[in-house]
């Protein structure tokens, strides 16, 4: 069987390529394609030693592109949750403490400094409708109730305080055996109302009109200008 020299060379080359080092294989391929051994070796060494994969390599005539840097990874910015706030309560501007004495049937008069919403909050204290040591046995006499009227005086029905034409009723928690019980029951009590600049209100303890004189105790009320 006859074969040409070129054919035998091709067979020999292919046989050698199977058993050769990858560098030798690459040089052999470039030699067959007409690329010089020197240039081919340089190209092959660069390709094999590069940590990057080439985007494009084409040979014959020689044209190649080797990336010089890693492709940029898109930067993903973390999303921050939208801050949410719990609904805020009203703004309270304290205007001080009002003392309502249990032994006064005139009460306390307050003039309103500016128009708006006002809050009257029970803070502490109580009073009794009987003098100390004079209360009938088993009768509850301690209370924290404060009636609030519009105007400069309380309203009466004869000797009885009028509780049907009140403007506001604060901390009216019934009667108790001791002052401590009365105060504990009234904690957290408040009332609010819209008032106009120049209005006068009266705050008064509760008893018969002619029975205040010997009543012990007092109630402390803090009042506020409120903005919602």
pLDDT tens sequence across 75-85: 444 444 454 55
> Is residue 223 one of the residues assigned to a domain?
yes
Residues 101 and 173 in one domain: yes
Name the pTM for this structure: 0.63
Give me the count of residues in the chain: 228
Does residue 104 sit in the same domain as residue 164? yes
* CATH (domain of 150): 2.60.120
pLDDT at 25 over 50: yes
Q: Would 19 be classed as within a structural domain?
A: yes
Whether 212 is covered by a domain: the verdict is yes
- Any alpha helices (H) in 54-140, and if so which ranges? none
Whether residues 61 and 139 share a domain: the answer is: no
Whether residues 56 and 103 fall in one domain: no
3-class secondary-structure state, position 35: coil
Is 71 within the bounds of a domain? no
Helix (H) or strand (E) holding 201: strand 200-204
Same-domain status, 128 and 221: yes
The verdict on 43 and 110 lying in the same domain is no
Let me know whether 218 and 105 are in one domain: yes
Q: For residues 95 and 197, state if they share a domain.
A: yes
Q: β-strands 142-143, 116-128: how paired?
A: antiparallel
Q: How many domains does the chain have?
A: 2
Average pLDDT on 16-28 reads 54
Domain presence at residue 218:
yes
106 shares a domain with 47:
no
- 61 lies in the same domain as 96: no
Q: What is the residue whose two structure tokens read 């040409």?
A: 4
Encoding tokens for residue 179? 């002052």
Domain hosting residue 30, numbered range: 7-65
How much is the pLDDT for 34?
55
Cα-Cα-Cα-Cα torsion 52, 53, 55, 60, nearest 10 degrees, comes to 110
Pick 99 or 68 by higher pLDDT: 99
CB contact at 8 A, 228 and 119: no
72 domain-assigned: no
Question: 17-31, 80-94, 105-119, 190-204: lowest mean pLDDT where?
Answer: 17-31
Give dist(CA 18, CA 176) in Å, integer: 109
Residue found under tokens 């008893």: 207
User: Both 160 and 206 in a single domain?
Assistant: yes
Beta-carbon contacts of residue 210 (< 8 Å; ≥ 6 apart): 105, 159
Query: 105 and 206: one domain?
Result: yes
Question: Would you say residue 30 lies in a domain?
Answer: yes
Q: Decide if 219 is inside a domain.
A: yes
Between CA 144 and CA 141 the distance in angstroms is 10
């Amino acid at each position: 069987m006859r074969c040409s020299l070129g054919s035998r060379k091709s067979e020999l080359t292919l046989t050698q390529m199977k058993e050769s080092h990858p560098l030798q294989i690459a040089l052999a391929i470039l030699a067959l394609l007409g690329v010089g051994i020197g240039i081919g070796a340089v190209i092959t060494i660069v390709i094999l030693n590069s940590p990057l994969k080439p985007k494009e390599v084409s040979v014959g005539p020689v044209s190649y592109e080797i990336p010089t840097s890693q492709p940029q990874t898109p930067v993903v910015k973390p999303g921050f949750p939208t801050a949410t706030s719990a609904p805020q309560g009203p703004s309270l501007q304290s205007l001080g403490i009002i003392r309502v004495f249990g032994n006064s049937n005139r009460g306390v008069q307050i003039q309103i400094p500016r128009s708006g919403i006002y809050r009257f909050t029970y803070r502490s204290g109580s009073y009794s409708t009987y003098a100390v040591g004079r209360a009938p046995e088993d009768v509850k006499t301690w209370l924290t109730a404060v009636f609030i009227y519009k105007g400069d005086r309380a309203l009466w029905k004869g000797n009885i305080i009028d509780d049907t034409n009140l403007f506001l009723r604060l901390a009216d928690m019934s009667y108790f055996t001791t002052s401590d019980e009365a105060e504990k029951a009234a904690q957290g009590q408040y009332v609010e109302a819209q008032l106009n600049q120049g209005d006068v209100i009266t705050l008064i303890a509760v008893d018969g009109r002619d029975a205040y004189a010997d009543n012990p105790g007092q109630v402390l009320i803090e009042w506020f200008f409120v903005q919602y």
